[in-house]
Amino acid sequence: MVKPLKVVIAGCSGRMGHALLEGVFADGELVLHAALDRADNPQLGRDAGEQFGRASGIKVISDIDFALKDADVLVDFTRPEASMAYLAACQKHQVKMIIGTTGFSVEEKQAIEAASKNIAIVFAPNMSVGVTLLINLVEQAARVLNQGYDIEVVEMHHRHKVDAPSGTALRLGEAAAYGLGQDLKDCAVYAREGVTGEREAGKIGFATLRGGDVVGDHTVVLAGIGERVELTHKASSRATFALGALRAAKYLADKTSGLYDMRDVLGLR
């Protein structure tokens, strides 16, 4: 019998943390090894399963080194500064890592890539299976509609999201740019205000909406003369991201190093 993967959940008291805990508790191939949160979190010392009406025997703690001892994989959907601390600790303890955090700087992304030479990492701005498929479709659509079509990426999230555009929107923009044979940094337009002049061909525009409790909506519009193609994904529950992340954790079970994304997990490349 295969032993279940020992999973550490970072930011376990947050919205994504709750979804991840629920996913681990429901999966016989996984076992909760530790539940991490900030040192000032009021949930510290309480049972991680309490909100689900169960006793897991795992208390919420802030000691990263203690949490990672003998663990297999850490799942992180927190903030960039916290993710960097978790990344360093995972390298120290040789623990694999799933990173769903967004808003990283170029330097932080380089640090993740460097760390993947020592430990196995799945790094994706969106762990949804549907969004992963959408990324592939956007790349193909941009490659086919590469003349006479304007590309815009529209995203909406809840009022508490702190980065914009979303990491998923940027990833969709990268896919579209790749399909056009370009680099996103050379063709992205992130803001329009005042007299902007006519839209320049070959540019990829972004529009960001924030409000309410929207989990995550993303649409890529390819607008031509007389027609437009719209590719859309709407998430109604964080469970979709949690399930994707836990699927990624299982994917890393036999990996010792390397940097992967959800397309690798789903066998799409």
Active site residue: 6, 59, 93, 161, which one? 161
Give, in order, the Cα–Cα distances in Å from 82 to each of 10, 46, 62, 87, 153: 9, 21, 12, 9, 28
Q: Does an H or E element contain 100, and which?
A: none
Q: 214-264: per-residue pLDDT in tens?
A: 999 999 999 999 999 999 999 999 899 999 999 999 999 999 999 999 999
User: Looking at per-residue confidence, does 111 or 1 come out higher?
Assistant: 111
78 shares its domain with 10: yes
114 shares its domain with 138: no
| 33 among known catalytic residues | no
Question: For the domain that residue 102 is a member of, what is the CATH number?
Answer: 3.40.50.720
Question: For the domain that residue 208 is a member of, what is the CATH number?
Answer: 3.30.360.10
| 157 among known catalytic residues | yes
What are the tokens at 154?
């529209």
226 shares its domain with 244: no
Asked if the peptide bond before residue 165 counts as cis, ω within 30 degrees of 0, the response is yes
116 shares its domain with 249: yes
Q: Within 13 Å of residue 55, how many CA atoms lie on the same side as its CB?
A: 1
104 within 8 A of 123, measured Cβ to Cβ: no
Q: How many domains does the chain have?
A: 2
Average pLDDT over residues 96-125: 96
247 shares its domain with 202: no
Average pLDDT over residues 158-167: 93
40 shares its domain with 143: no
Active site residue: 18, 33, 157, 233, which one? 157
**% residues pLDDT > 90 (the chain):** 90
Its domain, for residue 179, covers 129-235
**pTM for this predicted structure:** 0.81
What distance in Å separates the CA atoms of residue 7 and residue 246, rounded to the nearest whole number? Answer: 9
Q: 53-99: per-residue pLDDT in tens?
A: 888 999 999 999 999 999 999 999 999 999 999 999 999 999 999 99
